A and B are shown apart, each in its own frame.
Chain A
Amino acid sequence: MPREFALGDIYCPTLLLIFLAALTVNWCLGWLLARFGLNRFVWHPPLFHLALFVCLFAAMALTVYR
């Protein structure tokens, strides 16, 4: 997978797209967790969601960039 793509004449890192994708996935997961009330099993929900996002983003980025 190319590390950069051209948007018009501007080179953008593919990481930016991955970041946005991870954000979307994280958002959907957050909605599901809230919808089914699973957040009550979590001690510190914001920290949990932040960690979840870091995991998602790292996993997706490493898959693409390896």
Chain B
Amino acid sequence: MKNLFANLREAVSTWFAADLPNLVFALKTSVAGLLALWISFRLDFAQPQWALMTVFIISRPESGLVMTKGFYRVLGTIAGSAAALILTGLFAQSAELFILSLATWIGLNVALAARYRNFQSYGFMLAGYTAAIIGFGAAADPNHAFDIAQARVSEVVLGILCASVVAEAFFPVHASVQLVPAALARFTRFKEFLRHAFSLDFDSGKMLAMQQAFLADIVASETQRSSSVFEGAEARLRDARVRWMNASFMKASTTLYGFIQTMRRLRLQAPAEGIAIITSHYDELAGCMMAADGSPAAVAARLATYRSELHVRHRQAMPETAEAVPMRGDIAAAFRLYLRVVDELVDYVDAMLALSEPGRPTPPAVPAYALHADSWVATLSGLRAVGVLFAVSAFWIATAWPGGSGAATLGAIICMLFGSAPAPTIVVQRVARGFVLGQLMAFVCMFFVLPQADAFPSVALCMLPFLAFSAWMIVHPRFASEGSGIYLAMISSIPLHNQMHYDIVDFLNNCVGVFIGLGAASIAFSVFPSSPTRLRDRLLARLRDQVADACRAPLREGALRHRFESRTRDLLYQLTTPPAAMRELSGPVFGHAMTILEVGQMAIELRTVLERQSRSETLHHASTAMLDALVALCRNPDDASRTALFRALDQLRATLDGAADIDAEMRDELQANCYLIRSALQDDEAMRHVRGAAEWNISIPGASHAT
């Protein structure tokens, strides 16, 4: 008996510990919703349920996310309301023209949402569907169009204010506090990586796992950073430092990868004494990185001294040592790459130091992390939304059924919201399950519980269990989609007003409308399915084009390097996560992307040095021809274009040797880059990575796949 009680107590405490944050979130969200509801009742708003709905839509456990989502929601709502008013003013007399122009507006917003991927995209989506929500009401009653739009904007703003205040004031959860510990953990892992890479006790599987972990780290840290801007002034001050840290980390890890690959290739050909020139420096660098307590401050101090010593020693000793051994060009190039690794490590460690210890000088300006948003997926989801809007509106106009506008709007909203989900049909099915439960809850709440209430406190008490349950469902990892269905259905079906009307006919019409909208959306998803293989092919093509970008896009003083690094990583991340992920191919895709990073990085470095130099016409021609040959090789990786590239490289090196007006240091730098590109592409393994998809022998059915 005693044992049973002990077990029971343990079970309860485990459950409580695991579920406590979710319960707090459910309570916070319900309190915020009821607060918004109370204020809208007091101010006598037309549709208090919109304020309540807004609280639920933007509520997330992290308060930074609540405020970021809220901010873009306000912008989207204002733009959408303005558009709805203009369209009503122009086309209120003719339903067909009105729906046509509304569909155009929605299509436009979906196209704009495709340009972005995070919260900006959400804002554009809202501008689209707010126009639909307001537009249908306003067109039916043009004299009150302005009041409807104004009520919508006020209620949305009220909901956002209430949600933000409650999220920040009671048990706030800040994503930004995780940023520095996560960055320090990554720093430790990076040092580990460096040590293993130098002592050569690495197999390719371990290396791949490490690279994958770094990629996930960068993406997670960028996501947290972008949503923590509203988490108070400290987070904003830290923002630039996190950006600097991520940018310098990406640069350092790409260069280090290139260096490791170069050394691997060199080991196969060069004599041991030549390699020893470089490997003799490893111990010192590893010693610097593993400094005393391993804190960024200690590492930064030792690394800075080491770098200045290394540069001095390099200038004195390198030429004589290298003279004696064969392949001295390649070894000198590898040594220059080693110097670059050290330079970039210094930058990364400085950024870590600035991030982990406040009060350091302000970081350099780093452009935003470049994301790639696939236009095809977004166009498809826009087409789906417009198609559903047309089909359901046609039915509505033909039958004059009162629930029609609600059904059309809901269908379009669902198409937009879940268009980029990994498996939209499954998500819509789960949302539909939530809708059934939500409608049942709304029925019970509205016809059995609410009639007993007589003032706001009792209304609040009646609503609390229903609201808290749906909020708890949203954060539950297994029922998140069902949870969003529950609150969408429940809140939109209970018309809360100061003067309540309990109208079962309205309720049923609304209910039928919700399910018709949902049905239309799920039909649209099965008629225009988003195909993962097609998406994967498009992403792979973009990844191949990255080298062309590195060779041709304007340099913009370092901004190109950052854009190249971040976009390539973003593409790689999309390729290794659902829906485009290929489990059996994650290794080859990584090799492909890392080789693209390596080659592209060298091309950018070469171009940067060239730009600094006042160059002669012949040098310009030779370098352009080389870069063109490199782009051609990446587009069409066969032996003929490889030979063409090597010819162009030889030409460039000959021109460099002959050029009289060029600084010796610059010439060495350029020669080294030529060596590095040549040695990278001479390697058959690297060529296999460059070939990428064509080589992997997977049947990519994208070509024949129905879109």
Binding site for B on A (CB under 8 A): 27, 30-31, 33-35, 37, 39, 45-47, 49-50
Contacts and interface: CB of A to CB of B under 8 A. Distances in A.
Contacts of A31: 233, 236-237
Contacts of B232: 30, 34, 39, 45-46, 49
23 contacts: A27-B233, A30-B232, A30-B233, A31-B233, A31-B236, A33-B233, A34-B232, A34-B233, A34-B234, A34-B237, A35-B233, A35-B237, A37-B358, A37-B359, A39-B232, A39-B234, A46-B168, A46-B172, A47-B168, A49-B168, A50-B165, A50-B168, A50-B169
Nearest to A31: B233
Contacts of A30: 232-233
Nearest to B235: A34
A63 to B, nearest CB: 22
A49 B165 CA distance: 10
B545 to A, nearest CB: 41
The secondary-structure label for the interface of chain A is: helix
B63 interface: yes
B39 to A, nearest CB: 14
Contacts, number: 31
Contacts of B169: 46-47, 50
Given A34-B234, A37-B359, A50-B165, 20 more contacts: A27-B233, A30-B233, A31-B233, A31-B236, A31-B237, A33-B233, A34-B233, A34-B236, A34-B237, A35-B237, A37-B358, A39-B232, A45-B232, A46-B168, A46-B169, A46-B172, A47-B168, A49-B232, A50-B168, A50-B169
A31 B239 CA distance: 13
Contacts of B165: 50
Contacts of B234: 34, 39
Interface string B227-267: 00000111011000000000000000000000000000000
Interface string B259-296: 00000000000000000000000000000000000000
Interface in B155-171: 165, 168-169
The secondary-structure label for the interface of chain B is: helix
A25 B234 CA distance: 16
Nearest to B174: A46
Which bracket fits the contact residues of B? 10 to 19
Pick the most buried of A34, A49, A50: most chain B CB atoms within 10 A of its CB: A34
Contacts of B236: 31, 34
Contacts of B359: 37
B179 to A, nearest CB: 15
A27 B230 CA distance: 11
- Among all A-B residue pairs, the 3 with the closest Cβ atoms: A34-B233, A46-B168, A30-B233
B406 to A, nearest CB: 29
A2 B543 CA distance: 60
A44 to B, nearest CB: 8
Nearest to A28: B233
A33 B233 CA distance: 8
A27 B233 CA distance: 8
A34 B235 CA distance: 9
A35 B232 CA distance: 11
A39 B169 CA distance: 15
A10 B571 CA distance: 48
A31 B235 CA distance: 10
A40 B168 CA distance: 17
Contacts of B63: 46
Contacts of B172: 46
Nearest to B170: A47
B170 to A, nearest CB: 9
B371 to A, nearest CB: 27
A46 B231 CA distance: 9
Contacts of A47: 168-169
A35 B234 CA distance: 8
A35 B359 CA distance: 9
Contacts of A49: 168, 232
Contacts of A27: 233
Nearest to B234: A34
Contacts of B168: 46-47, 49-50
A27 B236 CA distance: 11
A28 B692 CA distance: 52
Contacts of A45: 232
A30 B229 CA distance: 13
A31 to B, nearest CB: 5
Nearest to A9: B146
A61 B236 CA distance: 28
A50 B234 CA distance: 15
A32 B79 CA distance: 33
A39 B168 CA distance: 15
Nearest to A34: B233
Contacts of A33: 233
A46 B232 CA distance: 8
Interface in B198-242: 232-234, 236-237
Interface string B356-369: 00110000000000
Nearest to A29: B233
A37 B63 CA distance: 21
A34 B231 CA distance: 12
